Amino acid sequence: MKVVYNSRTKPADISAITEKFPELDFVVTYGPDDVARELGDAEIMFISNRVYVEDMVAAVNANAGALRLIHFTTSGIDKALKSGGFPEGVTVANVAGLRGPTLGEHAFALLLCLSHRFRAIEAARKDHAWLRDEITKTVAPLKGQTLVIIGLGATGQSMARKARAFDMRVIGVSRAYEADDLVEEVFPRERVMEALAQADAVLMSMPSTAETRGFLDAEKFAAMKPNTLVINVARGDLINEADLIEACRSGTIGGAGLDVQAEEPMAADNPLWEVDNIVISPHVGGGGGGPKDTALDDMLIENLRLYCAGEPLKRLVDWPNMTV
């Protein structure tokens, strides 16, 4: 059985995977031209959502005669769906939850940066100004505050665990998750306004689909408290950015921490840069790891073993019924 592993970096080291499956024929590719040349007799392809765009879609669709499984090395598959989807009859899997703990850390870093006024602290440092009294009175400790998590997948649950460690009250908005020891109360999406009215902080942790695009808009910001902080580590298009800018500048909400934006990379003239109470990071929330981080390889090996054994795969994606 032939397996194509498309890598974003050269040289690719997939030895941790190949050594587990000496009976399989692995071929590493580095782009659409390589894929077009190698895919014709391959049954499985591993690939990142980041590169599954129009030219890759064309290469896959034109050479997918033997292809049965496309396994993403990322949690998201939104670029693939927006760029044309997949060949008919092909099974799609991903690594959902892979970066949940790391994204939860980054979300909390953004929240603490805002609540403990690190932007003001850093500005004072640059000016060599000791503004203890001025900054102290603006700090907002998290203990006793209410965090609303919209989307309770791996990232949302990771954030909930961290919030409880900070003695925050956690409530959620989800279509499937039920209240438990971690999340005190869960609202369906239809009642999101009730949840937002209680929020001191809001974490966006839902997928980007046609239904959720622009989910946070002027109406929902107006339902929040003037001190509410909005954190987004999911997808940039979940938030109407023009409405967010207005809400932050007008004092409708307290501020925002964004690791994702609607258009990436952000243009130099994007007005988000100029809003004092918006903290921006360049989509690095899931970053980190290193040679000892084997989580991705472990997930891919697990599903490859299941596939070879003819058993049901984990983290399957029902892509024909998804809209973007």
Q: What is the pLDDT of residues 138-172, one digit of tens each?
A: 999 999 999 999 999 989 999 999 999 999 999 99
Distance separating alpha carbons of residues 317 and 176, to the nearest angstrom: 16
Interval 32-72: pLDDT, tens: 999 999 999 999 999 999 899 999 999 999 999 999 999 99
Q: What is the pLDDT of residue 83?
A: 83
Decide if pLDDT at 290 tops 80: no
List of long-range contacts for 179-187, beta carbons under 8 Å, 24+ apart:
182/157, 183/149, 183/152, 186/152
pLDDT above 60: residue 324:
no
Whether the pLDDT of residue 25 is over 90: the answer is: yes
Could you tell me which of 43, 49, 42 has the C-alpha nearest to residue 74? 49
How much is the mean pLDDT over the chain? 94
Spatial distance between the Cα atoms of 57 and 307, rounded to a whole number of angstroms = 23
What percent of the chain has a predicted confidence (pLDDT) above 70? 98
Confidence of residue 200 (pLDDT cuts 50, 70, 90): very high
pLDDT of amino acid 319: 77
Average pLDDT, integer, range 24-34: 96
pLDDT of residue 136: 97
Contact partners, residue 73, CB within 8 Å, separation at least 6: 46, 47, 48, 95, 296, 300
What is the structure's pLDDT at 85?
A: 82
More confident residue, 1 or 294: 1
CA-closest candidate to residue 45, choices 289, 290, 286, 303: 303
Query: CA angle at residue 314 from 50 to 180, to 5 degrees?
Result: 100
pLDDT above 90 covers a percentage of the chain that reads 83
Domains of the chain: 2-98+290-321 (3.40.50.720), 100-280 (3.40.50.720)
pLDDT for residue 322: 62
**CA angle (226, 231, 233) in 5-degree steps:** 165
Residue-level pLDDT at 287: 83
Global pTM? 0.86
Say if residue 311's pLDDT is above 90. yes
Give the DSSP letter of residue 313.
P
- Average pLDDT (179-187) is 96
Mean local confidence (pLDDT), 206-235: 95
Burial zone of 228 (CB within 10 Å; 0-12 exposed, 13-18 middle, 19+ buried): buried
Please report the DSSP string for 81-143 in residue order: HHTT---TT-EEE--TTTTHHHHHHHHHHHHHHHHTTHHHHHHHHHTT---HHHHHTT----T
Is residue 324 within 8 A of residue 210, CB to CB? The reply is: yes
Contacts by 95-99, CB closer than 8 A, 24 or more apart: 95/296, 95/299, 95/300, 95/315, 96/153, 96/154, 96/315, 97/153, 97/154, 97/155, 97/315, 98/74, 98/286, 98/295, 98/296, 98/299, 99/75, 99/155, 99/285, 99/286
Per-residue model confidence (pLDDT) at position 323:
55
How far apart CA 80 and CA 238 sit, in angstroms, is 18
Work out the average pLDDT over 84-100: 90
**With contact defined as beta carbons under 8 Å apart, do 204 and 216 qualify?**
yes
